[in-house]
Amino acid sequence: MATGLYPQTKVLSKNFDVPNAHTLAVARPRGAYQSLEKALRTLTPAQVTEEVKKSRLRGRGGAGFPTGMKWSFVAKNTGKPTYLVMNADESEPGAFKDRYLMERDPHLVLEGALVSAYAIEASTVYIYVRGEYPHSIRRLEGAIEEARKAGLVGKDILGTKFSCEVYVHPGAGAYICGEETGLLESLEGKRGHPRIKPPFPAVEGAFRCPTIINNVETLAHVPWIVAHGGEAFAKQGLPPDPANPRSNGSTGTKLMGVSGQVRTPGLWEFEPGITLRELVYGYGGGPLPGRKIKAVIPGGISMPVLLDGELDVKMGFDELVKVGSGLGTGTAIVMDDTCDMVEACVNIAHFFGHESCGQCTPCREGCHWMEKVFRRVAEGDGQASDLDLLEALFKGIEGRTICFLADAAVWPVRSIVRKFRGEFLAKMTPAPTPAGA
């Protein structure tokens, strides 16, 4: 771009290009575990939570829930242990940000987990890593071993009274285990069926004990917040919308990625405020030679698509909701003019049908029905009434299930059906004329 690219702010990604940053020998001189030391020696758990609240840090797993508020829900004085579970089941298609963190800076991830465990007074952390990330699992386990030898994990960390064990728990291939209660079931050695809430995990989570579940990127922000204070974090990025008292803004920095049909897919870190267009055209390199960008899903696969004309929106939680989509994981998927949008719907609906856990009928049956209808339209067997049928299906699925998988299954395909109606109609057989006409 002529005016220069939106600047990157490397906080989480500061060690991504440093050789051997996954080892303690390289990471510690670069600042790893200083925040842990500061928190353990100078702050109380409540003070750490207070800083995180002030920072307005929002969950980076897709939902954007304020992290400090989540922590304050932990049931106290229950006589049971409290658990911290790090959600590293990054199963959202299009998302690969947590893999970068775990592979390239596992000590930052670990430090984030330990400081957060101190804040919620947990003595055990489980890091639930998806089974498809064997390299991340090895890196994390290596980091935990190194940290244990250095007195940073285990009993009496850094000579203080705080003890905390960290374990890696491997998943085995199930999208639904990224849903926090599905993850808990999986952690307990069961099928990953999401639970009915309430009770929320902060009251009754893993092993029926109070549990906090946070995304990898969320917890990786905590060391910086402890080092520089919550207010400094809140000054970065986008402030809350003053007109909306419930707005929390998009503070701090955010890992953002681009994949799909662009020249240079990749991952970068910005203060929210970069527009989706700058991300896709500037950092993503724009469309492949001779092609045009047709649609972009801003975060993962589960959000509604935006057209090329709608890309001048800032990458922030509230900003994207205003244009009818969502930040999600902040990793965009780009489709260009060679992409058949009906086939894309087949692909997306197949994914959700395959990954539905099967508990709730609207999702278990509905996702496959959607796929069947999309497939028949794609194969030229569709009828004009299929668009109404699809709308009826969307209505029957969305909001009628235990967890959000069903909603996530509807949002992208519904937005495609509505925004690319012409492509669907062009493939449809004209309605049969009445006999004798």
- The answer to whether the Cα torsion of 284, 288, 291, 295 is positive or negative is negative
List the one residue from 22, 58, 99, 277 that touches another protein (CB under 8 A). 99
In the stretch 301-330, what mask flags binding to another protein with x, by CB under 8 A?
A: x-----------------------------
* Integer angstrom CA distances of residue 80 from 84, 190, 205: 13, 22, 11
List the one residue from 344, 363, 370, 377 that touches another protein (CB under 8 A). 344
Tell me which stretch binds another protein (CB under 8 A): 46-54, 215-223, 306-314, 345-353. Answer: 345-353
Binding of residue 79 to another protein (CB under 8 A): no
Restricted to residues 167-206, the positions that interact with another protein (CB under 8 A) are 167, 169-175, 186-192
Binding of residue 388 to another protein (CB under 8 A): no
CA-CA distance, 112 to 98, in Å (whole number)? 13
CB of 336 to another protein, least distance (A): 8
CB of 431 to another protein, least distance (A): 31
**Considering beta carbons, is residue 237 or 260 the nearer one to another protein?**
260
Tell me which stretch binds another protein (CB under 8 A): 53-61, 105-113, 218-226, 353-361. Answer: 353-361
Query: Order of strands across the sheet with 165-170?
Result: 165-170, 124-129, 83-88, 211-215
Binding of residue 333 to another protein (CB under 8 A): yes
List the one residue from 321, 339, 389, 425 that touches another protein (CB under 8 A). 339
**Considering beta carbons, is residue 132 or 241 the nearer one to another protein?**
132
- The answer to whether the Cα torsion of 34, 40, 45, 50 is positive or negative is negative
Binding of residue 260 to another protein (CB under 8 A): yes
Question: Do residues 136 and 142 lie in contact, with contact meaning Cβ atoms separated by under 8 Å?
Answer: no
Binding of residue 257 to another protein (CB under 8 A): yes
CA-CA distance, 5 to 282, in Å (whole number)? 6
Please choose, from the candidates 91, 46, 152, 63, the residue with its C-alpha nearest in 3D space to the C-alpha of residue 352: 91
CB of 297 to another protein, least distance (A): 8
Residue 182 token pair? 């599905």
CA-CA distance, 436 to 366, in Å (whole number)? 37
List the one residue from 22, 104, 130, 427 that touches another protein (CB under 8 A). 130
Question: Do residues 48 and 115 lie in contact, with contact meaning Cβ atoms separated by under 8 Å?
Answer: yes
**Considering beta carbons, is residue 169 or 235 the nearer one to another protein?**
169
3-state secondary structure of 377: helix
**Considering beta carbons, is residue 125 or 225 the nearer one to another protein?**
125
**Considering beta carbons, is residue 248 or 356 the nearer one to another protein?**
356
CA-CA distance, 175 to 123, in Å (whole number)? 28
**Number of residues that make up the chain:** 437
Q: Give the N- to C-terminal CA distance of the chain in Å, as an integer.
A: 59
CB of 320 to another protein, least distance (A): 19
Question: Do residues 166 and 110 lie in contact, with contact meaning Cβ atoms separated by under 8 Å?
Answer: yes
CB of 83 to another protein, least distance (A): 9
User: Binding residues for another protein, how many (CB under 8 A)?
Assistant: 54
Query: What secondary structure does DSSP assign to 70-95, as a single string?
Result: HHHTSPPS-SS--EEEEEE---STT-
Binding of residue 133 to another protein (CB under 8 A): yes
Binding of residue 154 to another protein (CB under 8 A): no
CB of 389 to another protein, least distance (A): 23
CA-CA distance, 151 to 156, in Å (whole number)? 8
CA-CA distance, 368 to 382, in Å (whole number)? 16
Binding of residue 30 to another protein (CB under 8 A): no
Binding of residue 280 to another protein (CB under 8 A): no
Restricted to residues 228-247, the positions that interact with another protein (CB under 8 A) are none
CB of 88 to another protein, least distance (A): 11
Residue 353 token pair? 């049908």
Quick one: three-class SS letters along 305-365? CEEHHHCCCECCHHHHHHCCCCCCCCEEEEEECCCCHHHHHHHHHHHHHHHCCCCCHHHHH
**Considering beta carbons, is residue 41 or 155 the nearer one to another protein?**
155
Binding of residue 41 to another protein (CB under 8 A): no
Interface with another protein (CB under 8 A): 81, 90-96, 99, 130-135, 165, 167, 169-175, 186-192, 207, 257-261, 265-267, 301, 331, 333-335, 339, 344, 347-348, 350-351, 354-355, 357
